[in-house]
């Protein structure tokens, strides 16, 4: 009885899904036969479609024909195979946690796979820590915040992080994953031992530096083009007990970068486990970034320093310490380092916090009435002073519209694997800068204009910047972006996703 009652409902749902896809999905797909196992997991209703039509940037909006809420890796494989076997394949994008800012996780008229349903799976969290081997096997859908909590419970920690942890493992490994640990340990993509990946024909492949190494290299920093990451084996170390967290202000750009580079190059390596930097601009009241860190008594002095110089630069470093370490010795080490540094005397502050409090310093705030016209760039060290004078002073300071944090810190090229798909400048030391603007729904274009002016200035001045989390929309721009890596990138695409199914929101191969 039960069987004869459920079959028609099952069929009706399937027919409705197929009908909707056939009529609404332009590209096709949807004349494609879809496996019955997906019938209840593929949603075409307005709520589902709207949820996958926007992202954290809130600037690009693009509707998929349907959203898949998988409950297993096999569901994702089934979807990819359906597209692969279809006469006109449809695009499939993975939405890790939707924190792209330019629609990279969308699939116009295709299918978006919402990884949240795997995270919330009744079978439990897919993070397994191998304490003796110092690694964790983590589902590609997992958020780094959960990786932190699960590994910390065993006294361990990944070595390389992002500043903000409500990002998915698959999402950051498709880009690079950078933060203040990158100068020392490389980006997150340099700290992965093995991956499980669903390629563009629906095959599930395990890959590492030893096994299917070409696929492994392709996927890391591969912008979702070669496969869907379903598991990553992440390197772990002992978690520090506490962190000594310091920030010091500079009025002088050359002193600021000299001191940052001393740490990045290793002459002060023992002193810092984390190195970042940022700008404070003279545009009104102190931001939360300042008020939450510095003692209230220092705030008026900081603001008058900013007023006087227009921009001040902030060097930020941490020193981890373990239970056996003696706090006063760490303090002495730091005092020793800062003694030689060129920061403004008296404009320094340090505090002890727990490792977890430090890593979770950026809160998870979502507001659908805001836009995030962000721009992240890598800049070769040889032109960093030109960038300061031409971009920071001439464009950013003069326009005086910047609303969010501006990050600015050096990275070491040799910590990045040249075989991965990630693109970085040719020089050993390069800087990363992030303009993390927050705009309203109607005024994001002013920030976008500024972002474009920055790129234009660099092009005219011959500063070979590379965009991180790039937002290009034409094949010519992508070819230029990848430079000498383009031929390999294209060949790998032909090999692992020959029907151009995966990650259409990146707008790389859609027009080819």
Residues between 478 and 507 that touch ligand FAD (CB under 6 A)? 503, 505-506
Active site annotation includes 99: yes
Angle of CA points 470, 67, 56, to nearest 5°: 35
Nearer to ligand FAD, 34 or 178 (CB): 178
Catalytic site residue from 37, 137, 163, 203:
163
- Give the span between the Cα atoms of 193 and 166, in whole angstroms: 22
DSSP string, 366-381: --TTEE---EEEEEEG
CA-based nearest residue to 364, from 128, 504, 165, 85: 165
User: What minimum distance in Å lies between the beta carbon of 197 and ligand FAD?
Assistant: 8
Nearer to ligand FAD, 94 or 330 (CB): 94
Catalytic site residue from 276, 316, 417, 471:
276
User: What minimum distance in Å lies between the beta carbon of 174 and ligand FAD?
Assistant: 4
Instruction: Find out whether 173 and 160 touch, Cβ atoms under 8 Å.
Output: no
Instruction: List the one residue from 70, 110, 158, 171 that touches ligand FAD (CB under 6 A).
Output: 171
Residues between 221 and 280 that touch ligand FAD (CB under 6 A)? 223-224, 228-229
401 contact partners, CB below 8 Å, separation of at least 6: 283, 446, 447, 450
Nearer to ligand FAD, 182 or 268 (CB): 182
User: What minimum distance in Å lies between the beta carbon of 161 and ligand FAD?
Assistant: 8
Per CB under 6 A, does 105 bind ligand FAD? Answer: yes
Nearer to ligand FAD, 229 or 466 (CB): 229
Nearer to ligand FAD, 167 or 315 (CB): 167
DSSP string, 27-45: TSGGGS---GGGTTTEE-S
Instruction: List the one residue from 25, 170, 202, 405 that touches ligand FAD (CB under 6 A).
Output: 170
Active site annotation includes 477: no
Bridge-based pairing state of the strands 192-199 and 204-208: antiparallel
DSSP string, 238-294: EPPSEEEEEEEEES-HHHHHHHHHHHHHTTTGGG-SEEEEEEEESSSSPPHHHHTTS
Q: Select from 2-10, 156-164, 201-209, 278-286 the region that touches ligand FAD (CB under 6 A).
A: 156-164
Per CB under 6 A, does 172 bind ligand FAD? Answer: yes
Residue whose CB is nearest to ligand FAD in the complex, by number:
170
244 contact partners, CB below 8 Å, separation of at least 6: 318, 319, 320, 321, 327, 330, 331, 334, 350, 351, 352
Residues between 440 and 479 that touch ligand FAD (CB under 6 A)? 469
Could you say which DSSP state residue 485 is in?
G
Per CB under 6 A, does 95 bind ligand FAD? Answer: yes
Interface pattern 177-216 for ligand FAD (x via CB under 6 A): xxx-------------------------------------
Number of residues that bind ligand FAD (CB under 6 A): 35
Active site annotation includes 146: no
Instruction: List the one residue from 157, 175, 273, 451 that touches ligand FAD (CB under 6 A).
Output: 175
User: What minimum distance in Å lies between the beta carbon of 418 and ligand FAD?
Assistant: 19
Instruction: List the one residue from 20, 56, 69, 274 that touches ligand FAD (CB under 6 A).
Output: 56
Nearer to ligand FAD, 138 or 290 (CB): 138
Strand partners, 354: 242
User: What minimum distance in Å lies between the beta carbon of 382 and ligand FAD?
Assistant: 24
Residues between 300 and 359 that touch ligand FAD (CB under 6 A)? none
User: What minimum distance in Å lies between the beta carbon of 163 and ligand FAD?
Assistant: 3
Token pair belonging to 501: 């199914």
Per CB under 6 A, does 176 bind ligand FAD? Answer: yes
Instruction: Find out whether 314 and 259 touch, Cβ atoms under 8 Å.
Output: no
Instruction: Find out whether 307 and 282 touch, Cβ atoms under 8 Å.
Output: yes
User: What minimum distance in Å lies between the beta carbon of 271 and ligand FAD?
Assistant: 22
User: What minimum distance in Å lies between the beta carbon of 333 and ligand FAD?
Assistant: 27
Task: Return phi, psi of residue 149, to 5°.
Answer: -65, -40
Could you say which DSSP state residue 143 is in?
B
Using the structure block, give the residue that is written with the tokens 């332009």.
Answer: 26
DSSP string, 394-433: IIIIHH----S-EEEEEEEGGGS-TTSS----SSSEEEEE
Instruction: List the one residue from 70, 140, 240, 380 that touches ligand FAD (CB under 6 A).
Output: 140
Please report, for residues 386, 387, 448, 466, 511, the alpha-carbon distance to residue 454 in angstroms, rounded to integers and kept in the order given: 12, 9, 10, 12, 27
Per CB under 6 A, does 94 bind ligand FAD? Answer: yes
Could you say which DSSP state residue 151 is in?
H
193 contact partners, CB below 8 Å, separation of at least 6: 135, 208, 209, 233, 234, 235
Residues with a catalytic annotation lie at 99, 163, 276
Interface ranges with ligand FAD (CB under 6 A): 55-56, 93-100, 104-105, 140, 162-164, 167-168, 170-172, 174-179, 223-224, 228-229, 469, 503, 505-506
């Amino acid at each position: 009885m039960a069987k004869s009652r459920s079959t028609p409902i099952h069929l009706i749902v399937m027919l409705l899904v197929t009908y909707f896809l056939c009529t609404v999905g332009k590209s096709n797909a949807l004349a494609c036969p879809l496996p019955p196992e997906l019938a209840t997991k593929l949603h075409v209703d307005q709520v589902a479609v709207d949820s996958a039509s926007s992202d954290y940037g809130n600037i690009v909006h693009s509707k998929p024909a349907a959203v898949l809420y998988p409950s297993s890796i096999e569901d994702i494989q089934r979807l990819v195979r359906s597209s692969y076997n279809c006469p006109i394949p449809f695009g499939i994008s993975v939405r890790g946690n939707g924190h792209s800012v330019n629609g990279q996780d969308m699939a116009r008229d295709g299918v978006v796979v919402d990884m949240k349903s795997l995270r919330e799976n009744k079978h439990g969290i897919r993070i397994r820590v191998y304490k003796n081997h110092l690694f964790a096997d983590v589902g590609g859908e997992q958020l780094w915040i959960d990786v932190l909590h699960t590994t910390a419970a065993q006294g361990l920690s990944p070595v390389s992080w992002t500043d903000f942890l409500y990002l998915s493992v698959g999402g950051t490994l498709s880009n690079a994953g950078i933060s203040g640990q990158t100068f020392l340990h490389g980006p997150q993509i340099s700290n992965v031992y093995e991956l499980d990946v669903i390629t563009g024909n629906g095959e599930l492949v395990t890959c590492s530096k030893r096994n299917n190494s070409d696929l492994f290299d392709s996927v890391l920093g591969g912008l979702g083009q070669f496969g869907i990451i379903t598991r990553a084996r992440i390197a772990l170390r002992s978690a520090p007990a506490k962190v000594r967290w310091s920030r010091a202000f500079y009025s002088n750009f050359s002193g600021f970068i000299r001191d940052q580079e001393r740490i990045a190059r290793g002459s002060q390596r023992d002193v810092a486990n984390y190195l970042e930097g940022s700008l404070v601009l003279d545009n009104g009241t102190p931001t939360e970034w300042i008020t939450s860190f510095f003692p209230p008594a220092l705030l008026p002095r900081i603001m008058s320093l900013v007023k006087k110089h227009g921009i001040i630069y902030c060097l930020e470093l941490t020193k981890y310490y373990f239970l056996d370490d003696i706090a006063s010795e760490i303090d002495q080490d730091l005092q020793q380092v800062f003694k030689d540094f060129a920061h403004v005397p008296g404009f320094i502050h340090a505090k002890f916090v727990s490792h977890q409090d430090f890593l979770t310093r950026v809160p998870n705030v979502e507001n659908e009435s805001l836009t995030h016209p962000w721009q992240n760039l890598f800049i070769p060290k040889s032109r960093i002073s030109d960038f300061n004078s031409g971009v920071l002073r001439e464009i950013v300071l003069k326009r005086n519209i910047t609303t969010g944090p501006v990050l600015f810190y050096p990275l070491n090229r040799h910590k990045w694997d040249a075989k991965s798909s990630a693109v970085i400048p040719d020089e050993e030391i390069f800087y990363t800068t992030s303009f993390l603007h927050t705009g309203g729904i109607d005024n994001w274009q002013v920030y976008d204009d500024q972002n474009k002016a920055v790129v234009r200035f660099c092009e005219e001045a011959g500063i070979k910047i590379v965009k991180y989390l790039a937002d290009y929309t034409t094949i010519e721009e992508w070819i230029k972006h990848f430079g000498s890596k383009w031929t390999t990138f294209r060949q790998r695409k032909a090999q692992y996703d020959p029907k151009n199914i995966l990650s259409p929101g990146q707008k790389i191969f859609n027009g080819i």
